[in-house]
Chains A and B, each alone.
Chain A
């Protein structure tokens, strides 16, 4: 199998394509494929030229940390959950997520943590509303901050004004746990999410954790409207 990878040495250098030939196990994932190529004693590209090892992030290798998010054949995925058996054709193309600055090869800088900190999206004093929806809280708290939802979002550009689904998700988690802060959080949510969201719901479809962003958004919208439906 031919593997085409969009590589980059550093932030300030231009990206370039390099191809490799993969002859490893057919039941591997893309994460396994990258390990296979990198762990060879001598790494060479498809022209037989000696080259450098491919940099990518990984930690759990089982779809629960989100570190290995990348684009495989034009589809944003977690590399450890993308299996070669599902790839059509004899070639596979790997690119870093396109909405974030690339640090090196397939490694990107995801800004969600800074955005959430800068906007005071934290619980503070815990005072949850009555009738909490534990299932929704549980699902929302599984967000990996992997960035796949942002990659497919038609509205997210550079993260300066519109912050994307992980932002809305954490706003929900704060509002669900601190009733006093719910109004303040709903205002921030309105400004940096709701007013721009296209309700395309690509975020929900791609989420590897299956988080129901719409349920979070519905609750935050009702707080914003002040229609009294503040149950969680």
Chain B
């Protein structure tokens, strides 16, 4: 039995090492090293209820915080599984050498994170994701040396090898040889991260573009909760991107304020009390957006040694990119697209609507509902990888693959036709237009007029994409990924338009109340080139 995993960040590697421990051979695909994955950018920490947590904390409390943060559409059974495995995951990470920050007695340290009733975010300085990646790379290497995991670098996803609702592997693009190659497999796991590139440059990696989710959607996979997009409230603007200022700064006591007549107004504390700065990310983002003023985050009152010990990466980032000394001055912050609660719809076992096709990590929609709590993404990346691996290990190999030669020949022809073009029309131009559309029409505050306008534009880009003669100097991946990205963008706008209420990260100025009739996940299917949007009232993805 074997498995093909596409994406080698934390979720992909967690799935790979778990499968290898089950004795299943894994082919691990990525365009680049795991060290280049977006996972290394996760800064703040990983939530877990451990026996040493504060008195009064419990798994149930973590479950309730997560469900509440997700506005009660995160799926209770799924969330119970996630939170119930926090301790196992932390112990596993320790056992493979993850360097958690420790207290004076050598026990892993915890910090407070937004939306949580107790302090339960374990961390590794301000580079928790990087430390976990380093440990998982080492563990993956162990199974590579044993021949249980085979890494294939310089490959990108092209499409699923899918027939009659069953997945038999994937067609991959060999980036170095510029050709399509078929990889057949008993089970295929997508671990390609969120759809950042729809919004241009976000806090995340430029490599996460949503293409795989978009393409599989066009091949029949359902998508879920696309309209729920998390804006991180505190990012630092630089000429090249908006850089994340970790929630750890607020966890350590950082205070948000704006200036009015030269006086500081601590608007979050004024409105929400002592814990105001640690309200959930959707609320803080909307408050910053709504105040219409330049907002700052101050941590300069902490002593320098504490900043050096607990927030060295934030200190260095602010100094390097903006010349700001956080020990002496506040950080100017602005909200930015940060995390996608939506993605491929998966069942509790992380299988998509296509048999033998799984999705894990941020590309899958699970656990976070309408808004993710800080510290739950690393937990869900690890947990989802384990769940998919355990499910696969209990299945049987089919080993009989249908004939995909006609499909592959057709896809090669389409690719070669684009590549033979001498046109200079740059695909980047449409990607830029798309990011402007998404940021303008699907922002922190939305309304029907803008969402319809956005859809009209994406429909137009899609109509053009079919007729384009691509610029051959752009990588073929960049070219062929455009249509699926536009399709995913259109589906996202449509889902946001159909949810005529406000819930979690989805805020409508024309429907600013939460409505019971919408207390379900949104599902989108691609039928005859159109988007079919419905609410999951039967909870078919809660099983």
Query: Which one of B36, B41, B101, B428 lies within 8 Å of A38 (CB-CB)?
Result: B428
Whether A31 contacts B473 by the Cβ 8 Å rule is: no
Query: For A25, A43, A60, A80, which residue has the most chain B Cβ atoms within 10 angstroms?
Result: A60
Whether A59 contacts B206 by the Cβ 8 Å rule is: yes
Say yes or no for A158: interface residue by CB 8 A criterion. no
Whether B205 contacts A35 by the Cβ 8 Å rule is: no
Query: Which one of A28, A58, A62 lies within 8 Å of B317 (CB-CB)?
Result: A62
Whether A134 contacts B32 by the Cβ 8 Å rule is: no
Report the minimum CB–CB distance from A8 to chain B (whole Å). Answer: 13
A59 CA / B32 CA spacing, docked (Å): 9
Q: Give the segment of B58-66, B133-141, B330-338, B483-491 that binds chain A.
A: B133-141
**Given A66-B36, A122-B138, A145-B35, do A61 and B96 touch, yes or no (CB 8 Å)?**
no
Whether A57 contacts B32 by the Cβ 8 Å rule is: yes
Chain A, 32-51, CB within 8 A of any chain B CB: 32, 35, 38-39, 41-43, 50-51
Whether B99 contacts A137 by the Cβ 8 Å rule is: yes
Whether A43 contacts B134 by the Cβ 8 Å rule is: no
Query: For A57, A62, A124, A170, which residue has the most chain B Cβ atoms within 10 angstroms?
Result: A62
Say yes or no for A117: interface residue by CB 8 A criterion. yes
Whether B240 contacts A28 by the Cβ 8 Å rule is: yes
Query: Which one of A57, A65, A117 lies within 8 Å of B141 (CB-CB)?
Result: A117
**Given A116-B141, A141-B130, A143-B134, do A65 and B428 touch, yes or no (CB 8 Å)?**
no
Chain A, 83-117, CB within 8 A of any chain B CB: 103-104, 110, 113, 116-117
A57 CA / B473 CA spacing, docked (Å): 15
Q: When each residue 477-510 of chain B gets 1 if its CB lies under 8 Å from chain A and 0 otherwise, what string results?
A: 0000000000000000000000000000000000
Whether A142 contacts B205 by the Cβ 8 Å rule is: no
Chain B residues positioned under 8 Å from A202 (CB to CB): none
Whether B33 contacts A145 by the Cβ 8 Å rule is: yes
Whether B176 contacts A58 by the Cβ 8 Å rule is: no
**Given A43-B473, A113-B151, A142-B127, do A134 and B102 touch, yes or no (CB 8 Å)?**
yes
Chain A residues positioned under 8 Å from B144 (CB to CB): 117
Report the minimum CB–CB distance from B248 to chain A (whole Å). Answer: 15
In the complex, how many residues of chain B place their beta carbon closer than 8 angstroms to a beta carbon of chain A?
54
Whether A122 contacts B139 by the Cβ 8 Å rule is: yes
Whether A126 contacts B130 by the Cβ 8 Å rule is: no
Chain B, 422-442, CB within 8 A of any chain A CB: 424, 426, 428-429, 432
Whether B426 contacts A41 by the Cβ 8 Å rule is: yes
| A-B CB contacts (within 8 Å), total count | 132
**Given A80-B240, A141-B130, do A121 and B36 touch, yes or no (CB 8 Å)?**
no
A134 CA / B130 CA spacing, docked (Å): 15
Whether A53 contacts B473 by the Cβ 8 Å rule is: yes
Whether B139 contacts A123 by the Cβ 8 Å rule is: yes
Say yes or no for B392: interface residue by CB 8 A criterion. no
A60 CA / B101 CA spacing, docked (Å): 24
Query: Which one of A43, A50, A53, A62 lies within 8 Å of B321 (CB-CB)?
Result: A62
A67 CA / B38 CA spacing, docked (Å): 12
Whether A29 contacts B239 by the Cβ 8 Å rule is: yes
Say yes or no for A185: interface residue by CB 8 A criterion. no
Which B residue sits closest to A121, measured CB to CB? B141
Chain A residues positioned under 8 Å from B151 (CB to CB): 113
Interface size class of A (residues with CB under 8 A): 35 or more
Q: When each residue 164-207 of chain A gets 1 if its CB lies under 8 Å from chain B and 0 otherwise, what string results?
A: 00000010011001000000000000000000000000000000
Whether A29 contacts B240 by the Cβ 8 Å rule is: yes
Chain B residues positioned under 8 Å from A142 (CB to CB): 127, 130-131, 134
Chain A residues positioned under 8 Å from B317 (CB to CB): 62-63
**Given A103-B176, A113-B33, do A120 and B145 touch, yes or no (CB 8 Å)?**
yes
Say yes or no for B254: interface residue by CB 8 A criterion. no
A145 CA / B32 CA spacing, docked (Å): 12
Chain A residues positioned under 8 Å from B154 (CB to CB): 103
Report the minimum CB–CB distance from B361 to chain A (whole Å). Answer: 16
Say yes or no for B40: interface residue by CB 8 A criterion. yes
A214 CA / B96 CA spacing, docked (Å): 24
**Given A39-B428, A177-B97, do A141 and B35 touch, yes or no (CB 8 Å)?**
no
Whether B41 contacts A60 by the Cβ 8 Å rule is: yes
Query: For B35, B102, B145, B471, which residue has the most chain A Cβ atoms within 10 angstroms?
Result: B35
Whether B138 contacts A170 by the Cβ 8 Å rule is: yes
Chain A residues positioned under 8 Å from B240 (CB to CB): 28-29, 31-32, 35, 61, 80
Whether A65 contacts B40 by the Cβ 8 Å rule is: yes
Query: Which one of A110, A141, A144, A170 lies within 8 Å of B99 (CB-CB)?
Result: A141
Q: Across the A-B interface, give the 9 residue pairs with the lowest CB-CB distance, nearest first.
A: A52-B473, A122-B142, A141-B134, A32-B240, A177-B97, A59-B36, A122-B141, A67-B36, A59-B205
Binding site for B on A (CB under 8 A): 25, 27-29, 31-32, 35, 38-39, 41-43, 50-53, 55, 57-67, 80-81, 103-104, 110, 113, 116-118, 120-124, 126, 128, 134, 137-138, 141-145, 170, 173-174, 177
- Known A-B contacts: A61-B206, A145-B35. Give 12 more (CB < 8 A): A39-B428, A42-B426, A52-B473, A53-B474, A59-B38, A61-B241, A67-B36, A103-B176, A123-B138, A126-B95, A141-B131, A142-B130
Q: List 22 A-B contacts (CB under 8 A).
A: A28-B240, A29-B240, A32-B240, A35-B240, A39-B428, A39-B432, A41-B426, A57-B32, A58-B206, A60-B36, A67-B32, A67-B36, A113-B33, A113-B151, A118-B145, A120-B145, A123-B97, A123-B139, A137-B99, A138-B99, A142-B130, A145-B33
Binding site for A on B (CB under 8 A): 32-33, 35-38, 40-41, 94-97, 99, 101-102, 124-125, 127, 130-131, 134-135, 137-139, 141-142, 144-145, 151, 154, 176, 201, 205-207, 239-241, 243, 313, 317, 320-321, 424, 426, 428-429, 432, 471-475
